[in-house]
Amino acid sequence: MRRIWAPWRMQYILNAGKTEGCILCDKPKEKKDKANYILYRGRYNFILLNAFPYTPGHLMVAPYRHIASIVALQAGESAEHMKLVQLCINLLTKEAKPDGFNIGMNLGRVAGAGLEGHIHTHVVPRWNGDSNYMTVVADVRVLSEGLDVTYQKLKKCLSTLVK
């Protein structure tokens, strides 16, 4: 039998449901963008790498304001949010060259929201053949690149897109 090691998942397992506060509120306040995988800060929203991604380059766009409903976004927040989703697509297209994207929000626990009280949009790059039997048979995702490497690549590429 072969073993697949993913020791970084233990952080998620041990902290699932135990985090005090809201990470989407707390992380930007820490001013440790590299450590928190924050790629870009806008006026109302920011872009960060998902720390527990479905695929390498799985990004999230979140407002700084703690709100649970997309309909509560003010006009400037909403416009910038979509602009940053577009920036994510341009960034990932240029750097990672995916074959497609999954883009969406999970609003409410029954819809799969892991961060229920703070809306955010997932931008997930997809490649032909990126899903394999491991997810179906073993409930395991195999990621081909670590978060630090992905962050460095995307941050460098982002500097060419945003002046």
Backbone φ and ψ for 120, nearest 5 degrees, come out as: -165, 150
List all residues 6 or more positions away from 134 whose beta carbon is below 8 Å from its beta carbon. Answer: 4, 140, 141, 142
Residue among 58, 81, 120, 122 flagged as catalytic: 120
3-state secondary structure the chain: CCCCCCCCHHHHHHHCCCCCCCHHHHHHHCCCCCCCCEEEECCCEEEEECCCCCCCCCEEEEECCCCCCHHHCCHHHHHHHHHHHHHHHHHHHHHHCCCEEEEECCCCHHHCCCCCCCCCEEEEEECCCCCCHHHHHHCCCCCCCCHHHHHHHHHHHHHHHCC
User: Is 120 among the catalytic positions?
Assistant: yes
Residues belonging to the active site: 120
